[in-house]
């Protein structure tokens, strides 16, 4: 039996090797179109163009990669194009608006795609290094989540539409009263003046807009949102998922935080030959691992926190298993479809 199976084994190996060579030869002389579902000058556009500067040399055959902007409808125009119109030969890919990923799952009929059907190549950055944080005036006596849960009277928390802030009560059990309707600049001023006890804010913006208060140690950071991992900048601050008061609360947090966890996701359309898709996934990973790319990102003072294809694929696919309870509550909290 071994002698009979030997020719078959050789034939299979030769066939696999031939397929791999053909896939690598495919990109010789090709143009790869890399669409971005937002306008030029946005953070999506910046990450895409920085990636491309290092990507071409990591694709076998060194094809030319051209970045094009295809904004519209919160990213749905470009995402619908990738799913329904774009070439499925491995020469068309897209950086998708993070909130667009949730839209078909929550029933948006303008989203004519299934997020889990895309072949995900990864994201150049996440919000691990730039989390969304909930902060209080340090004059308040609450320094931990446990203390705020036991507050005898609710604290006044200003909000300009953040879904994360709306979860402070039901998901984290904080004793707070949410005051809606602030414009972002007005909310900053209200916090500085002490008109509200706390706010939610991006960590980068916190450092940029409230440095005098930070220098005086007048701000307490209680929780960070956006990732299952603590930011290296805030190793002692718990994540929202750590503080979730129930499995249902954690599931809701995971669903709402998903766009931040996969902040700048890049995908190929369904149906791309598996060998070419694997080549592209590997090319993106090696480009992001390239020291030259990291130096380029850090020179621009951008976050270096890539997440590779298989992990992003798993996270997107997990969103499809969200319960009706989670989806319904998401729609109540974010009727416009995002934070």
Instruction: List per-block mean pLDDT (blocks of 10 residues) for the chain, which spans 339 residues.
Output: 50 47 83 97 96 96 96 96 98 97 96 98 92 95 96 96 93 96 90 95 88 91 93 95 96 93 96 98 98 96 94 94 94 67
Q: Which of the listed CATH numbers 3.40.50.300, 3.40.1130.10, 3.40.190.150, 3.90.1530.10 matches domain 15-126+262-333?
A: 3.40.190.150
pLDDT at 24: 74
Looking at residue 184, its pLDDT comes to 83
What pLDDT was estimated at residue 327?
Answer: 95
Q: Is the dihedral of CA 26, 31, 35, 41 positive or negative?
A: positive
Residue range(s) of every CATH 3.40.190.150 domain in the chain: 15-126+262-333
Task: Give the residue ranges of DSSP H helices in the chain.
Answer: 2-26, 43-55, 76-84, 145-149, 163-166, 184-193, 203-209, 211-215, 240-243, 247-261, 274-289, 291-299, 309-319, 324-333
Contact 230, 239 (CB under 8 A): yes
CATH 3.40.190.10 is the classification of domain 132-258 = yes
**Quick one: 2 exposed, middle or buried, by C-beta within 10 A (0-12, 13-18, 19+)?**
exposed
**190 CB contacts (<8 Å, ≥6 apart)?**
158, 182, 196, 199
Q: Give the per-residue pLDDT at 21.
A: 59
Q: What is the pLDDT of residue 338?
A: 41
For residues 85 and 78, give the distance between their C-alpha atoms in angstroms, rounded to a whole number: 10
Residue corresponding to tokens 């990102």: 297
pLDDT at position 5, please? 54
- The predicted pLDDT at position 207 comes to 87
Amino acid 335: pLDDT: 62
Every domain of the chain with CATH number 3.40.190.10 lies at 132-258
Kindly report the pTM of this predicted structure: 0.85
């Amino acid at each position: 039996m071994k002698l009979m199976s030997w020719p078959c084994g050789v034939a299979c190996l030769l066939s696999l090797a031939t397929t791999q060579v053909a896939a690598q030869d495919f990109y010789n002389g090709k143009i790869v179109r890399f669409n971005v579902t937002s306008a030029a000058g946005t953070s999506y556009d910046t990450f895409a163009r920085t990636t491309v500067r290092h990507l071409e040399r990591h694709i076998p055959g060194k094809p030319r990669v051209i970045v094009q902007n295809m904004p519209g409808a919160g990213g749905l125009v470009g995402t619908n194009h990738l799913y329904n119109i774009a070439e499925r030969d491995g020469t068309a890919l897209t950086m998708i608006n993070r909130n667009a990923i949730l839209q078909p799952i929550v029933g948006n009929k303008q989203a004519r795609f299934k997020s889990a059907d895309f072949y995900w190549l990864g994201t150049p950055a996440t919000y691990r290094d730039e989390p969304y944080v909930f902060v209080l005036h340090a004059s308040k006596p609450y320094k931990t989540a446990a203390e705020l849960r036991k507050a005898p009277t609710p604290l006044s928390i200003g909000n300009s539409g953040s879904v994360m802030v709306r979860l402070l009560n039901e998901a984290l059990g904080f004793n707070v009263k949410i005051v809606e309707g602030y414009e972002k600049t007005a909310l900053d001023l209200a916090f500085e003046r002490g008109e509200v006890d706390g706010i939610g804010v991006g960590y980068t913006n916190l450092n940029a807009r409230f440095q005098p208060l930070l220098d005086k140690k007048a701000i307490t950071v209680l929780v960070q949102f956006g990732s299952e991992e603590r930011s290296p900048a805030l190793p002692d601050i718990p994540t929202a998922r750590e503080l979730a008061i129930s499995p249902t609360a954690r599931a809701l947090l995971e669903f709402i935080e998903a766009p931040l966890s996969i902040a700048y996701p890049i995908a190929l359309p369904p149906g791309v030959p598996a060998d070419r898709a694997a080549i592209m996934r590997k090319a993106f990973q090696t480009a992001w691992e390239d020291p030259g790319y990291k130096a380029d990102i850090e020179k621009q003072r951008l976050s270096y926190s890539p997440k590779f294809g298989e992990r992003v694929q798993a996270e997107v696919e997990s969103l499809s298993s969200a319960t009706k309870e989670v989806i319904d509550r998401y729609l109540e909290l974010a009727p416009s479809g995002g934070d």
